[in-house]
């Protein structure tokens, strides 16, 4: 009996050592899954959440409504929230307009480009994307740039405008 328990301890140590010797991509996968963890925690609560850091860490604001200006003093996104988001998560509940459109400019102004995020989807690193105009042409980078958002129908989103993972 004693010998069996010792063997189990040795096996346990060997298993515990595996993550430490694994490629660094394992850490990236673990961070990536944090957005999925947040989705599983909150979906479908009807909210849209933006985070100051990549991989859905450090939420800066969340809520079920639209916000035409992330830098003003009203709504779910205020003052320093403007131009600070690095990742986003849509845990909308499948209402008629359950897609979130985010914009570089305030007041849902297409002039600076936009992007669409479907319900249940997230984008863990906005530095990988640029906004696009309604024709799909690239605009400015998305990292720390979102200034307004609203809930829209998927029909309002051009094919090239979609971001996010399910
Ligand atoms: Ca606001
Ligand atoms: Ca902006």
Cα 3 to ligand 2 centroid, rounded to whole Å: 65
Cα 109 to ligand 1 centroid, rounded to whole Å: 15
Which pair of structure tokens corresponds to residue 39? 């989705």
- Those residues whose beta carbon sits under 5 angstroms from the ion ligand 1 are 67, 69, 72, 75, 77
Task: State the ligand closest to the CA atom of 111.
Answer: 2
Distance CA(92)–CA(45), nearest Å, equals: 6
Which of these ranges, 10-19, 58-67, 115-124, has the smallest mean pLDDT?
Answer: 10-19
pLDDT at 31: 72
The confidence band for 2, taking pLDDT boundaries of 50, 70 and 90, is very low
Cα 145 to ligand 2 centroid, rounded to whole Å: 4
Helical residues (DSSP H) of the chain, grouped into ranges:
2-21, 25-42
Write the pLDDT tens digit of every residue in 88-145.
Answer: 999 998 777 999 999 999 999 999 999 999 999 999 999 999 999 999 999 999 999 9
Task: State the ligand closest to the CA atom of 71.
Answer: 1
> In this structure, what DSSP letter does residue 19 have?
H
Cα 122 to ligand 1 centroid, rounded to whole Å: 21
Mean pLDDT for the chain overall: 86
Cα 72 to ligand 2 centroid, rounded to whole Å: 13
Distance CA(99)–CA(84), nearest Å, equals: 21
pLDDT at 15 over 90: no
Q: Are strands 138-141 and 148-152 parallel, antiparallel or unpaired?
A: unpaired
Cα 13 to ligand 2 centroid, rounded to whole Å: 50
CATH entry 2.40.110.20 includes domain 32-163: no
Distance linking the first and last C-alpha atoms of the chain: 48
Cα 69 to ligand 1 centroid, rounded to whole Å: 4
Cα distances (angstroms) measured from residue 86 to each of 15, 23, 55, 158: 35, 25, 8, 22
- What are the sequence ranges of the domains in the chain? 32-163
Write the pLDDT tens digit of every residue in 34-48.
Answer: 999 999 999 999 999
Cα 78 to ligand 1 centroid, rounded to whole Å: 5
The residue with greater pLDDT, 15 or 78, is 78
Cα 33 to ligand 2 centroid, rounded to whole Å: 27
Cα 106 to ligand 1 centroid, rounded to whole Å: 9
| Residue corresponding to tokens 């986003």 | 88
């Amino acid at each position: 009996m004693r010998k069996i328990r010792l063997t189990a301890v040795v096996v346990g140590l060997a298993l515990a050592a595996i993550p430490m010797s694994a490629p660094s991509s394992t850490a990236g996968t673990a961070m990536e899954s944090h957005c999925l963890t947040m989705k599983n925690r909150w979906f479908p609560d009807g909210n849209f959440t933006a985070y100051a850091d990549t991989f859905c860490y450090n939420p800066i604001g969340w809520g079920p409504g639209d916000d035409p200006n992330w830098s003003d003093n009203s709504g779910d996104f205020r003052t320093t929230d403007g131009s600070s988001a690095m990742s986003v998560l849509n845990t909308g509940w499948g209402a008629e307009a359950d897609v979130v459109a985010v914009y570089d400019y305030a007041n849902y102004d297409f002039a600076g480009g936009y992007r669409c995020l479907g319900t249940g989807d997230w984008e863990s690193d906005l530095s990988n994307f640029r906004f696009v105009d309604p024709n799909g042409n690239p605009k400015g980078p998305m990292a720390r740039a979102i200034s307004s958002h609203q809930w829209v129908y998927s029909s309002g989103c051009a094919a090239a405008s979609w971001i996010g993972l399910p």
